[in-house]
Amino acid sequence: MKSKQSGVTLIGFLFIIAIVGFFAYMAMKLFPSYSEYAGVVKAMKQISTEDSGGKSLDEIRRNLMRKMDFQYVDTAVVKPTDITIKRNEGGSNELNVSYDKQIPFMYNIDFLLHFNKTVTLQGNAGQ
């Protein structure tokens, strides 16, 4: 009586390893950007809990940039022009950070990531 073998062949195994390797390489390229974004969100939450009464937009930007520096956010990625404050209809102010990051992947393929986060500020910031 012959026993029938079952399992993955060497070519099938190499194909699976190639697919897993491709996605692992993609994750290694993207993870630092999402980690950096988590630092931006953490800095924004710290700013939102502070009282911003009477502070100007430039003071809030400088404070946010300083907090993002502690979170290892690259100042070349998030520029002061990416930080805006707008007054919503309820009278409170909202801090918005919106930026794009381009990550080279392979050959002429790049990832373009768009990050956007808005938090409500405590107090009334001066415009």
pLDDT confidence bin for 1, thresholds 50/70/90 = low
The pLDDT assigned to 123 comes to 67
Task: Report CA-CA distances (Å) from 96 to 31, 81, 127.
Answer: 23, 11, 15
More confident of the two residues 21 and 7: 21
pTM score: 0.79
Mean pLDDT estimate for the chain: 86
Task: Report CA-CA distances (Å) from 89 to 86, 92, 94.
Answer: 10, 8, 11
- How far is the C-alpha of 117 from the C-alpha of 80, rounded, in Å? 15
Domain boundaries along the sequence of the chain: 10-120
pLDDT digits over 73-125, tens only? 888 888 888 888 887 777 778 889 999 999 998 889 999 999 999 998 876 65
Amino acid identity of residue 22, one-letter, is F
